[in-house]
Structure 1
Amino acid sequence: MDANSQNITGPVLFLDNLTDTTVEIAALFIAPVGVPVPNVTAEGVSVPVEPLSEFRTATVWRARFRLPVGSQSGYDWNGKHYPVCCDFSDAIRIGYVSCNGEEIGDLDREGSERNAMWSRLKSDHQHQAFALLLHGGDQVYADEVTHGHTLSRDWPDDVPPDPSQADLASLRDHLREGFYERYASLYASPEFAWIAARVPSLMQWDDHDICDGWGSLPASKTHSGVGQTLFSVARESFLIFQQATTDDDLPGRFVDPDGLHLGWTVRTAALRIIAPDLRSERSRRAIMGPGGWTMLEEEAKDPMPGQTFLMSSVPLLGPRLSILEALMVAVPRMQKYEDDLRDQWQSRAHRAEWRRMLQLVRTMAIRDGHDLTVISGEIHLATRGTMDLGDGLHMHQLVASGIAHRAPPKAWANILGALAWLGDAPLEGHPIQIHCLPGQSSRYVAERNYLRLERGADSWSAIWELEDSGTTDPLAL
């Protein structure tokens, strides 16, 4: 082992694509400028590690390689072997996490406390290997990257109206380094690094990967020079650090090769995972744009048998939030939280779009020989829900949030539980209900958590790992 390589962060694995015979993987590395990264060896082939992006003090590198679908495989790097579970047959385990951080002071938190659930996930994998790790949004909390620059220090409350191109270029440099610092810090944490080197990740972004409430803020903010610079840098950083790629080199799982939206889908025998992009085309009046809707409508036409997991970074099934929104508008002290509610499918601003989405997923879910389950994060609580599809069928929604964000007060969970008790049926004849997790007495659990999706012989089940309450009984899907 080269002494310089001890300063390298990585490997962090990402799934480029999945076929019935091959697992295509990208391995990401972060190294100090001038420090070379050793090659990866996979299936006896030495794979070069190539530079992906440059920052002031570091270079981001990537290697792409393939492993055969099967029970166990792996690769070697820097004198060490890393096993990778490539079993996508009868028995498969998939992990799901979200909300890996907090809005304020996240980089200053004590590591073992912050990453306690990552440590538990590591032990979980050691007991029985995961084949994939899905990340449902807010992988990084970037809200503080705007601090420290004249143009963005008061974002979004005070946005300079007409900054010069030179000042915007300066802001871009400042933001790039800020995003780099956060990703590099998170990826260097030992609890995350251990599992990230052994389980390929698939990531979907949400607002904090850009800034709090992106898309739900007024257009005067997001369309400004500062807002567009922030989004551009966040998007570049998302591609580099959450997809191990760049705009001109998107893996085949991305639906739009031009990247106007960053939705993706992967599939293998009897399994499909769909992750629409709920941020790139978002506005205060729309959660998805033309590209996102076209993607989902094309997927809905596919008669694929088996199981689909639809990742919706904000929960698709939830309580009636219009009551809370009305209260927040009426109470001045609460108006600052209006954007948080507008972020949700259940917001009164998105009611028609929500119905359209529910109708679409219902069409997919009732197809013979096919099951569809929605998985979400974002709310820093664990819960589950169902929508009645008719003829005795139900669609499940599973929420696991967050892996590192500390839980909100139990009073907030109780308020949401009371709203859920009222019920909702945005599609006539298809009521939505929020249920307790197996073994829990409340509809919303205020504990840090993550989710396991497991397939036995021919059936899937969901199991939550809760920080204080422990492991739930399996929920049959």
Structure 2
Amino acid sequence: MTVDPIHQSWFDPLPLQQYQELVKKSAPESVSSCPPDRTVGKPAVSVACGPNLRFLGCLENGTNNYRGTILLVLRDSENSEKTKPTIKYYVGPATTDVSLSLQSGVFPGTLFYQEQGFSFWRFAMDLELTQYEQKVKYSVNDEFNENFQFFLPSIEQSMNVMSYSCNGFSLSVKTAEFKSSLWYDVLRKHDQLPYHVMVGGGDQIYCDSVKKSSRPFEKWLEHKKLHSYEKLTDEMVKSLKEYYMKNYIQWFGKGYWEGTAGATLQCMYPMALQQIPQVNVFDDHDIIDGFGSYGHRTMTQDIFKGVGNIAFNYYLLFQHHTSPTEEMASEPSWIPGASVGPYITQKSRSVYTRFGREIALVGFDCRTERTKHQIITQETYSRIFKRMDDELVAAKGEIKHLLVLLGVPICYPRMVWIESLMGSKLLAPIKYLARKGVIAKGLVNEFDGGIELLDDLNDHWCAAHHKKERNWLMGELVKFGAKHGVRITILSGDVHLGCLSRTMTKLDKHISAQERENIVAKPEKDPRLIFNVISSAIINAPPPNGMASFLQKRAKIHHFDRHCDEDVVDLFLKDTDGSERSNTLFLNKRNYADLIPFKNLKNTDRYKQFQQGDLIHPGPTTELAKAEPIHNGHISLKNIGYPLDPESLVTTFHFEADIKDFNSETYDYEVLIPHLAERQKISEVGLK
């Protein structure tokens, strides 16, 4: 009997050698233009972007369901009849532990948007989780290839999560310096232990080049007056729409982008989109640098608001597979804002979804309602926390870890004095001369004439304008986690380096010896322990060593309230080459992170290393020991004394070793994030 190719290749690994050759061919010196569309399937369709995957939810309403979508953007042909695409799939076991038996079906497709000669097709994935992990292979018009596949967890399993942000270069970065591909390393890790989902923390695309690519917008920015209240013309709308469409088609479809100092072809990124379902929130570069954090006078300019609203449309199309005209009520993962934003005239879109049995994620939309003085309105916060509360109650204690996606770090060194300096009226003459080009013009931005770095500082939760809101939110998260007995971990990026910050119950001299031991040796009993996993950039250039050193000097222990402290963990005792580091808090190299349930590591080499105590001491400790490097580029984190907990999330930072290495090797730093063992009622949260 003849075995068909799908059955025959079902358990084949990814073609990593082929991927590496593609990375080499995509070296900056070889990039001259954006690759063409691909012709896929029979009948053939011209694929401009996709297929790419989005995860929506699973285990909903007491079922064993799994939901997601596949986006396919086709370039319409003027000379032929439009072909309706079809996506067929096979689903079967992910490993040879289960005998191979495949089921097949078709994902129903919907043409939900058309514009500029492109058709947007969304295919609904409605699948069923089983007692074992599954692999899904799919085809586009009967064309299968090794990239068209993804993985489902088992009914009792939680998902392996990959987390990233800052997925692109700033406009003036010299791209020729970067030959390594962290997306190649992502797929290499994915081949070893599949990622079920990847979380984009903002800046999944860099749209700052709109300043140069949209001529009407560029011309407007050249006006002599600081603020210009010209109206948004049809010509400018057309130009902006063409820019955002083209930028997304090139980046999400081919991995191509061009700045003022060179181009890049990140060919592994579209391949990752085909294989790992994504859940995203957005940040300023998905729109334009600093959007929302300039003064109200700047943000209310008709043209600047137009940029935000047009960018929002394409953000929904490409990153969420929907359009603003489709009702949010039809998709249960959305948490709509209470009212439209002040500059983006749409309701904010936060998201809640469950990552398998014991993990859930809530992504806060921190951009749609943002102003210089506010990130999210109180009414919208109420909706988000109510949704979180309803979901945790309905889960009846099954959820052990709640990931909170905020994009910008919330536990980070304070730089209020720099904000005050950059915003000082004493700098007005210097800013005026910079705007006129008499001195370094790059010192100020084109939008409000302020110091270029000030919008980045105003974006931060710890900025003076946002400090009160930030402290309130941290207090609410502490109380929420304690009330439900769920460990909260915050995922952030934005700052182009890696670090691990945390809040924890204060090691006060007045507390009892038993309480002190619980804080150090039994973190599963500490309701105030919240980690902020800060991981970026997966593509953008890291800041200079001087910035990382400056941050280390600013990273003091902060007393959040009378019972809770904040600090940054000494994670980076060794550099990626094994040498000693003086800056143990901040590592300014490109990176991404993953969060793997300890249970999912069973039958892997990493599980054996944990069991042998190679990665971290497996039993409770009461002393804060020093971290020790081990083999294979891993480093143990014994200095925080956390014991091995079967309910832990093994959280790993993957740092690039050499930006010029086509093999794209990474060096890993790991920490165990324990679950919260019990519900607790805590008081005096936020009180100094």
SS of equivalent to 2:187: helix
Cα distance in 2 for partners of 1:80, 1:142 equals 32
CA drift at 1:130: 0.4
Residue 300 to residue 38, structure 1, CA distance change in 2 (3 Å): closer
Report deviation, 1:169: 2.5
Out of 540, 551, 555, the residue aligned to residue 416 of structure 1 is 551
Counterpart contact for 2:536–2:591, Cα < 8 Å: yes
1:17 counterpart = 2:84:
no
1:254-289, Cα deviation, whole Å (9 max, x unpaired): 012886111010024221100011011111100112
Q: Counterpart in 2 of 1:326? A: 420
Q: Is the 8 A contact 1:143 1:210 kept in 2?
A: yes
Query: What is aligned with 1:101?
Result: 168
User: Shift of residue 25 of structure 1?
Assistant: 1.3
CA spacing shift, 1:293–1:455, aligned 2, 3 Å: same
Quick check: 226-235 or 430-439, which moved more?
Answer: 430-439
Distance 1:36 1:264 in 2: 34
3-state SS of 1:80 partner:
coil
Q: Deviations over 1:157-184 (max 9, x none)?
A: 8553132xxx533222211111111111
Unaligned runs of 5+ in 2: 1-40, 90-102, 256-266, 340-345, 431-442, 445-450, 507-514, 520-525, 575-580, 600-646, 659-665, 674-688
Residues 158, 357 of structure 2: 8 Å contact kept: no
- Matched with 1:298 is 386
Match of 1:448 among 573, 590, 607: 590
Q: Which of 117, 121, 139 is equivalent to 2:186? A: 121
Shift of 1:154: 4.7
The one-letter code of the counterpart of 2:238 is D
Q: TM-score, normalised by structure 1?
A: 0.91
1:429 equivalent among 532, 541, 563: 563
* Structure 1 residue 354, shift from structure 2 partner: 1.0
Work out the CA distance in 2 between the residues paired with 1:415 and 1:36: 57
Unaligned runs of 5+ in 1: none
Distance 1:56 1:109 in 2: 30
CA distance in 2, matches of 1:155, 1:124: 44
User: Partner amino acid for 2:311?
Assistant: A
Measure the CA separation in 2 of the matches of 1:156 and 1:319.
36
Specify the alignment match of 1:33 in structure 2: 76
Matching of residues 178-217 of structure 1 within 5 Å: 178-187=243-252, 188-189=254-255, 190-217=267-294
Residues of 2 paired with 1:429 and 1:60: CA distance?
52
* 2:537 aligned to which of 397, 402, 405: 402
Point out the more displaced range, 40-49 or 232-241: 40-49
Higher relative CO (CA 8 A, sep ≥ 6), structure 1 or 2? 1
Match of 1:288 among 372, 376, 380: 376
Does structure 2 conserve the Cα–Cα contact (< 8 Å) formed by 1:387 and 1:395? yes
Aligned pair partner of 2:152 in 70, 86, 92: 86
Q: Verify the 8 A CA contact 2:111 2:119 in the aligned structure 1.
A: yes
Superposition map of 1:457-476 within 5 A: 457=599, 458-468=647-657, 470-476=666-672
Structure with bigger gyration radius: 2
* Candidates 479, 482, 498, aligned match of 1:363: 479
Amino acid at match of 1:86: L
SS in 2 for 1:261: strand
TM-score by length of 2: 0.64
AA partner of residue 261 (structure 1): S
Is the CA contact (8 Å cut-off) linking 1:377 and 1:399 kept in structure 2?
A: yes
2:360 equivalent among 257, 261, 272: 272
**Shift, 1:54, TM fit:** 2.6
8 Å CA contact 1:50, 1:63 repeated in 2 = yes
User: Equivalents in 2 of 1:181, 1:208: separation in Å?
Assistant: 16
- 1:311 aligned to 2:405? yes
Moved more, 143-152 or 207-216: 143-152
Residue type of the alignment partner of 2:489: T
CA 1:260–1:435: 2 relative to 1, 3 Å: same
Deviates more, 1:45-54 or 1:405-414: 45-54
- Aligned identity (percent) is 17
Q: Which digits, 9 at most, give the CA deviation of each residue in 1:92-147, with x for residues without a partner? A: 311001001123168x956x946711111111111110000000000111112143
> How many residues are treated as equivalent by the alignment?
471
Give the match for residue 50 of structure 1. 110
Tell me how large the CA RMSD over aligned residues is. Answer: 2.5
Between 47-56 and 450-459, report the one with greater CA deviation: 47-56
Equivalent residues of 2:202, 2:283 under 8 A apart = yes
